[in-house]
Structure 1
């Protein structure tokens, strides 16, 4: 299929040929793509909470598990979303930022001047460890087991598994994927049992898993272990790769624009960010330019190409009446790259986000409406903390400034090849920081 080979290019061609609304049929079923901001607002702003059967097609259970929030609808969806919202509140997020900074330091590490660093792989390790240590509460001795099984699982994953139980069993590599997936479930259930045991003694460590168990501890509200496991799978699989590619792209674009990079460093210094300052992880995310850099990265290179909404009942979208069972899918890539909304859309320009906020329906890297991604603020915080740490404590120079192809790489859209940088002497940067 054309989209499997060149997702971005294929959808751009279909948009040009068929207009802002067109139908795609593939292994997941029938999808109506929407590349119009007004119609996107209609989908996200629907007043009926039961209009959607699920956020993702049902066959995504092979990846997320049957009890994932993304596959629930109606009362079950609202209940679990309410329980999941508490651990992601701003107060809880702030408590994790120092751990995020420390993991970034460990993974990018000190090295010799001139050493080559492949930032996609380093970023992936950062985001994996953040989830395993901060969300799951795993200690250092358990991290490698999680990393190993996730790499094995995603290395064996094939989008053809979305065909459904009967079809996926005929796909080469499915048994290897299934075994790795079962191993991941064993590790997750062990963490859940550990967190439950610690909750009973009052010695929980404050990780998201412990908070999730505490949030569901009331009468008739307790999440079953299978449901918690599948939510952890969703956070792990959906969260680490999307933040990975966003961090790698941000480093790429900052590397292509030294003036912007130094301007961002100057803003961080004005806020009090300095090498060795223990408050850097709190100060960096407050920088307006930092937030604009992150927002523009998510606009120009969103990790997800589209938003999925499976209709539980017919819906009127513009001039069309769409039947139940159809997947309505606002296109992130097409709307984010619409020159009528973002002039010269392939130009990386954080100034777009330093003034007026984007209008509804024109910017939605994490989806929108009642089903917007619960991990959006977690991801933004992780990006801000990692970038602050890297800009303050490391000096990395992009090896090549030319554009890198943007392709589907597994589940996400990301760099088609590695992004290589070299370590440089930080003495000039440190002297400037000391002088100020």
Structure 2
């Protein structure tokens, strides 16, 4: 029996996608519920799984091709046996390696033994999305600790390894010789650089094009303005240090800063509803709920998953919700529902070391708060100079519906709540 692989329903207002990557080749065996192909939409990247076990008989939509909802992607012969190779890209490195070598590697991505990556595929199973990242970044799969079922290497494991120089934290000490071997990589080429090596032209992904379009649309449409303030985090850091161990023991999640910032923003939005509103034609829509967008950087671009009804959540629920959205974003598992309906956004550029920036509105929202790096600075406190952990805050807002007084007042309320966090706990 032939089973068709079709583009699933992609979500509200999304009618088209781009075929990102086929995880299987014609003739390969496929298990039920195994990912076959990756689709890229203008909001999320999603995997299409097999509905039946069998053999991949035909690929109709090639990688890079635009397809509509319901379009035929390929066909499976249900129950038929196929090639033993379940991961063609992971187990056929001899053909892929020369192609990778022709591309100029970025200095930060150069590894000492890129050809060794596929060697571990016989002992450690790597999921298709993870293998794609390993191949793209010339990583060694043996340096990555798998946390998936039966020790499988997931996309999240590879992303964690990239943040730690190409190795999982637990695996890093086992290969001390890797660092010295990688030292010659940044050296200048011995001969003239070829014309082909000077530039690399890559087609923008659908997600990247969507990000570019929406950010430019926000700049062109909204009367965007940014106001700044700074917050002294001494009391907040002391409170967190005192209770973080008890918090982790009771709730099984770390007490971070995001729950305090989320609660502080909600308190400000409740007092100043215009910051939580949006414009629809010649009408202003005031939202009596608080769906907080949390900007997350991923290898594919910036995404803003939404923490729904955050005002009804406890601190622990906020921390768990944000952590889960972050994991889903990094693993490419966000759904359309995770991305829709936000009323206000928080963007934390401080995790990348940003001291100050002006965030762009996430249309049709009318406000976005930018968090930044915590840095100790000398401050005058009660007539004395003291060293304090300070953070710059930036509120970008749509001046069409938010006046300067409202914007400044909102930011002051956030500042007051963070500098005296007991106000949040007592709902003051």
TM-score, normalised to structure 1's length? 0.24
Higher strand share: 2
Larger radius of gyration: 2
Greater fraction of residues in helix: 1
- Using CA pairs below 8 Å that are at least 6 residues apart, which structure has the higher relative contact order? 1
TM-score by length of 2: 0.25
